[in-house]
Chain A
Amino acid sequence: MINLMIDGLDVQVEEGASLLDVAQFYGIPVPTLCHHDGLTDYGACRLCIVEIGKGKNTKLVSSCTYPAEQGLFVRTNSKRVVEARKMLVELLLAMCPSSKIIQDLASAMEVKKVRFKVEHGDCILCGLCVRMCEEQMMAKAIGFVNRGKDRKISTPFDAKSDVCRTCGGCMYICPACELRCEGPDAPGDVCGGCANVEPVCLEDENDKMCFMDPCGWCYNELGRKKEKEKKNNKL
C-alpha cells in the first residue's frame, strides 16, 4: 500500500494505481478526455493534469499516466491547475469546436470564450480510436502517421485497410465525431454558457474549496457578512 495526500486528504492506495485512479476512487472529480476505462492511458489531452509537490517546487503532471508515489502531495484543483486546464480545453475547442464532449468539458470549466483562431481541424489526436482498434477490436488497422503539424490518423499508405473490419469502434469512441447540439440559434465557439459559473474562492484561496453546485454560494454569504461588518465599522 502507498500513502499519499490528495486535496488535503490522507489516502491509501494500491501499488500501480495512477493518480487519476486515486482521485476517482475517492470521488474527486478530475476532467478527462483521452482516458477510457478498458483502454491503456496515453496522456494525449492533458486535461487530467494535477499539481504535485509542495511550496515552490510543484509540477503539473497528467494524472492518468502518473503513478501514485509514497508521500506524494497532490492537488487537483489549485489555481495553476484550473488555469492550465482552461487553456488546454480552449485550445482543444479551437481545434474542434463541433465536439459535444469538448464543449461540455469547457462549460464545466467555466470557459466563456475561445481566444484562439478556430481551426475546425476536428481530429485532436487523442489516440482513442487507435487504442480502441488495437486493444478492443484487435485489428490494429489505424495509427498515427507523419509528424509535427502533419501528424494525423490514417491507414497504411492512406489506402483502404486489409485488416479493418469496419466495426465502427473508432468512430464510436471519437470525441470529434459526435456533433454538438445547435441550440435555438447556432452558438459561437463556446456553447453551454448556462453552465458557466465563476468559482469565487480561487481569487482568494488559490485552491477550489469544494464542489458545491452552484458554486459561489458560500462566498456570497461570506461577502455579504463582510460588507455588513464594513458598514457597521463605518457607522
Chain B
Amino acid sequence: MKKADIDKILKKHDYKKSSLISILQDIQEVNRWLPPEILKQVSEKMNIPLIDVYSLTTFYKSFYLKPRGKHIITVCSGTACHVRGGPRILNEIKSQLNIDVDETTPDKNFSLETVRCLGACALGPLMVVDKKYYGQMNPKKVVSTIKKFSKKK
C-alpha cells in the first residue's frame, strides 16, 4: 500500500481522532494487515502517540498486526462443530498447510484462523474460505478445497 493511498483514507475521515478505528479498518480492508510502518505513518499524520495506536490495535481482535495471506481459512471451533469433528478438520488443514492457527504460509497464500460458532451449526463441521462457507467437512473434502485455492504450480 502506498503512502498516498493512506493519506487519501486519512483525508476522507478528515483526520478526525475519533475516527481512528474506521481509518485503520479502511486501511486493513485494502492492505489485509497493519504493518508497523503504516501504524507509524498514521500516528504521525494524525498526531496521535504511537503507543495509543498500538494499544488500540492490540485490543481489538479484528486488527491484524501480522501478515495475512491471500486466502483466509477459518475453522469453526464452536461447540456444535467441535462435537461433529471440528478438531479433525483443523488438524488436517494444519498438516496440509504446515502452519498453526493464526499463522500464514511462507508463500503468503493462506492464513489459518479459528472462530467460535458462525451460526450455521447444522452445517458443521464448518470451514470458511474467503467468506464462503463449506459445510459438512471431512478430511478428504479439506484436501480438495485447499487445492482449489492453491497457487497453480
> Chain A: residues with CB nearer than 8 A to chain B?
140-147, 155-157, 161-163
Contacts and interface: CB of A to CB of B under 8 A. Distances in A.
B149 interface: no
A233 B36 CA distance: 83
10 nearest A-B pairs in the assembled complex, by CB-CB distance: A143-B51, A140-B49, A156-B54, A156-B50, A143-B55, A146-B58, A145-B58, A147-B59, A156-B51, A144-B55
A155 B40 CA distance: 13
Interface of B: 36, 39, 49-55, 58-59
A137 to B, nearest CB: 13
A157 B36 contact: yes
A141 B43 CA distance: 13
The majority secondary structure among interface residues of chain B is: helix
B51 to A, nearest CB: 4
B24 to A, nearest CB: 14
Nearest to A141: B51
Nearest to B52: A143
B21 to A, nearest CB: 15
A144 B49 CA distance: 13
A134 to B, nearest CB: 8
A145 B58 CA distance: 6
B58 A140 contact: no
